[in-house]
Structure 1
């Protein structure tokens, strides 16, 4: 929309052929990556999640798959995103190609939505200096194209589990488009409420994909502060908008201080090697790192795994914490200073910060991930776009076109190379290790790739290569047990002897190292392989589980699973007793599961464990209805 004769009217859209060419170009850039494999959290969320493995498109099965995300998000289990993954499984099983294609289609839809949103924002007279309509259209196209093909987007598009992020972005972008259109209709004496109600509905749908959709009102506030400026067709409407946002900000701050901070604040997060204050300090380094990745997206800066990033222990530990904080403070000051002088610059800066408002806050998430910049990238591009439009005419006509084309061509080339790398699992695993040798996760991926290439032959040179890489990864500073697990499984599955030092190191890490989801995942992977008749040292594996349960609490089914293992494979009756009783202890919030455990033990004929579990359940009042029924039956 543009302001003409005091009214906002629709500007003619570019030819659909141009948009089609844009989509085809983006499709071609990412197409080589569709041949890649699952990676990292794809396994826990998709490959190993049997509840997601539906074979027919039956509503009841899709619903069960939709709520199978673990852990569930703040607003539920991200059912919409999980349902789309279930549909992928029903159509193509566990072939990664179909999942990645769907992710690319979502990204293409988002590209069109970004085009629509930027087109509207640059059409508002307050955002930019006066330029020709043709120049503005080229600027919009440049922003959208670079957003779509920027190398940092590869991990969001081709990393299947990030469907949650990109699908939520679909509804967030659509909601913001509706919001801005509704507000512009109100400013132009029209009725914008249908658009605004649509924005609310789209936001709620977005929350079904990922919690990040809760940021839509904050993005809208950033747009109001910079571009729309709470404008209205009459002063009273403008005051009402200011009051509405003022109350919303006040309520959000109260909830944050009274509810969120007390709930999440911790001196030491479970399964992390840092606490809340250290996490917040580290973000002063992480956010500038993201900016560097956006401005200089070379392979060495985009490493996918960031388990090598150490938390900041103070403003001067390391010094880059303080320097990063000063940079971020300077950016916020720039946003305030340019709010009236260059609104699009201010919006771009605020957009970047809003995009990281959840992931750089008090929740104990991992310190850094590339996909958190999926929408944040747009903020940086808006700043660059405004600066280019404000450049002298001579520069815009000669120097800047060459520079912009060079950036677009360079980005397309880097993204095409990165996409092709993601399309070759071995090449990707090797690249991640070469670019980030300090990442234990990257090392474990490469070791697993070598082992897979051995085809099970005990004398294959790939077995030696796998053992060598796992050994290197296991000795990295702060490494989890994932490489130690890889060593043990590689030797056991290839019929080689497992040195006791490998078990010693694994158990020691469980006893004294940082517990993480990787720790529990690796141990239960060993347990599952034991059930597949892989010969392991049951006494050492049981020792590792004892060490784990001494340091952390897990869901009741974890204890029941280990109890079954202790009974069947480790032949340790005492350990089995402890595990089944602990399963009951942790079932207070789910009495039905306690009953299931007891019934299963009875059915298997494990009467000793059944009686111990039943006695504990009675003590906790988990079998009250059964006790009452038994009492009535004796009268």
Structure 2
């Protein structure tokens, strides 16, 4: 029987995913993608892969968002090698990983959940629900949330291997999971829960020694991150005004929030920064949620012998969310991609419930009846996932949707305003940003985007006023200083703008835009050496930034008379983009000026075919006659 469905079930699950996410490859970059992928120079070269394992700076250009997730970054680097900043390959890999997760859900439920003759239909139903449930669209459509999908794939593979007593495979997959996302350290708890339920249900149990090894690896994984991440970065990922106990109490309602979205996913929203935080146990949100969880736990305990699969589904749901919904206070209490790993438990419970309902209603024809019911449910969920993915296709639509569903969320209003600003719709952007700032008066992104809108519409005094407010509210953040510098420049106060841009790079030396702004402003003031140093700062922050390399090279060559240093900058541009036309030309000229005639001739000979291919006779004629003479072919 197993051989009969060994190939068609993965194929069916792949078809279901392909239909539900048929519009997924057209989804763009969103939210944190800008600092993890779009602006991150480290993923643009496969040579950077070793740094992903030891340097948190390689994970993001945003100081406050740096993490240690090396395997995730490796996947982004591979995507960049395939499609650059075109998102289709990123989404294709997300969908392939989602398919792997769904196949593992099918395999685990079928083989390990003590279901007897119901194993195949219940496993198929659970896997189909996980495949097309719209609650998973955030994890699948949002590229940076690949961390949840990839971690789940490794976590499930490790669990499956451990239960089968394939210890080497279990350890290997768990190490991969730990290198993807830190939340996976809960795997030993899931295995322990399975082991405790297994004696009454029958079947193999994961070895205690293996669980102990995995627990040790989990602790080592957390220690690895603690060593690499500065305390300030760790603190930035946590809610500043929410302690562990408050976050723990809030987490009780978070569990029920995710359960509600699973049962009725009509309130899916990209961001819930406005989710209420519990302050005291006396609040109904705390005690009522705890009572609900205790009730569900009691029910799961009572049916542990008759329905062990349902009991373990509850255990899985609790354990899978524990890292992000208990005592580790994160910046947001809830996030839609977090329940992705827990979907094994939720999908199993749903499929098992449908199986028993059909058995009660139509026991004689329960298999075709169950298939029909699951098919109808999967079609409905798949349609909802497709519609939700359509919302994800456009940044403006995504964030306007968030303002409607979470109107008290300042970040939603701000990001909707930023999306309108990016489109050039300034009149639409302004009221959205004003509302974001009203909800959170010192929210830095609302303030700096308001400054940008006013500057772009010529209201320069207002632009500086918002820039001043951004710096006053957030003096230790880099970006508010850069936006204030832009307002000062627009007002003609160049020296003040330079000082403000320098404050930006003092705070964050990786702020490439601030280095480039300094260089441009310093050039305007004919401060050539300082401008070249600023461009060098940009190049140090992003070695792939050819504009910085070329601007510095031109200054060293033509303004400062340092042709050797200029040649080094042109070589840096060519290292980033080997076909860079201007770098080929300028390198030959700079090398010739240093007296390195052999190298200059080689560089010129590399340039000539490029110029001839586009008919650029002017550049060919402009080169020093002696260089052209040396590079000319010798007659035999």
> Does the pair score TM above 0.5?
yes
| Structure 1, unaligned runs of 5 or more | 1-9, 183-194, 455-461, 577-602, 606-635
Q: Secondary structure at the match of 2:137?
A: helix
Equivalent of residue 176 in structure 1, options 159, 169, 177: 159
Q: How far did 1:547 drift?
A: 12
Q: CA RMSD in A?
A: 4.5
Q: What is the CA distance between 1:545 and its match in structure 2?
A: 10
Greater mean alpha carbon deviation, residues 241-250 or residues 392-401: 241-250
Change (3 A) 1:308 1:527: same
The size of the alignment, in residue pairs, is: 514
Q: Distance in 1 between matches of 2:360 and 2:295?
A: 30
CA contact (8 A) 1:503 1:540 kept: no
- Is the partner of 2:23 in helix, strand or coil? helix
- Return the alpha-carbon distance in structure 2 between the equivalents of residues 268 and 450 of structure 1: 28
Higher helix share: 2
Q: Report Cα offsets for 1:576-596 as digits up to 9, x if no partner.
A: 9xxxxxxxxxxxxxxxxxxxx
Give the match for residue 22 of structure 2.
31
Note the alpha carbon deviations across 1:41-73, whole angstroms, 9 max, x for none: 11111112122223xxxx524434665114999
Counterpart of 2:50 (choices 63, 68, 74) is: 63
1:523 matched to 2:480? The reply is yes
Are residues 48 and 351 of structure 1, via their aligned partners in 2, closer, same or farther at CA, if it must alter by over 3 Å? same
Structure 2 CA distance, aligned partners of 1:210 and 1:526? 33
Q: 1:73 to 1:436 in 2, by over 3 A?
A: closer
Change (3 A) 1:435 1:269: closer
In structure 1, what is the Cα distance between the partners aligned to 2:434 and 2:517? Answer: 31
- Contact persistence 1:207–1:214 (CA under 8 A): yes
1:324 corresponding residue in structure 2: 289
The CA distance in 1 between the partners of 2:78 and 2:259, in whole Å, is 36
Question: Secondary structure at 1:475's aligned position in 2?
Answer: helix
Cα shift readout 1:148-188 (whole Å, capped 9, x = no counterpart): 11111001011111122211222111112212222xxxxxx
Q: In the alignment, does 2:47 pair up with 1:53?
A: no
Note if 1:159 corresponds to 2:142: yes
Tell whether the 8 Å contact from 2:36 to 2:59 is kept in structure 1 after alignment. Answer: yes
Alignment of 1:211-610 (within 5 A): 211-227=182-198, 241=207, 272-298=240-266, 301-316=267-282, 318-366=283-331, 367-391=333-357, 393-396=359-362, 397=365, 403-454=373-424, 462-477=425-440, 480-499=443-462, 501-503=465-467, 505-510=469-474, 520=477, 522-523=479-480, 526=483
- 2:623 maps to which residue? none
Check the 8 A contact 1:73/1:210 in 2, yes or no: no
Tell me how far 1:383 sits from its aligned partner: 2.2
Tell me what 2:170 maps to. Answer: 199
Q: Distance in 2 between matches of 1:480 and 1:91?
A: 37
- Determine helix, strand or coil for the equivalent of 2:258: helix
Q: Distance in 2 between matches of 1:196 and 1:79?
A: 24
Return the alpha-carbon distance in structure 2 between the equivalents of residues 93 and 220 of structure 1: 40
* 1:115 aligned residue: 106
> Are the equivalent residues in 1 in contact too, given 2:447–2:470 (CA < 8 A)?
yes
Is the CA contact (8 Å cut-off) linking 2:28 and 2:87 kept in structure 1? yes
Residue 203 of structure 1: how far off its partner (Å): 0.8
**DSSP 3-state at the match of 2:269:** coil
Shift of 1:314: 0.9
**Whole-Å Cα distance in 1 between the matches of residues 121 and 405 of structure 2?**
36
d(CA) in 1 for partners of 2:40 and 2:14? Answer: 33
Distance 1:232 1:73 in 2: 47
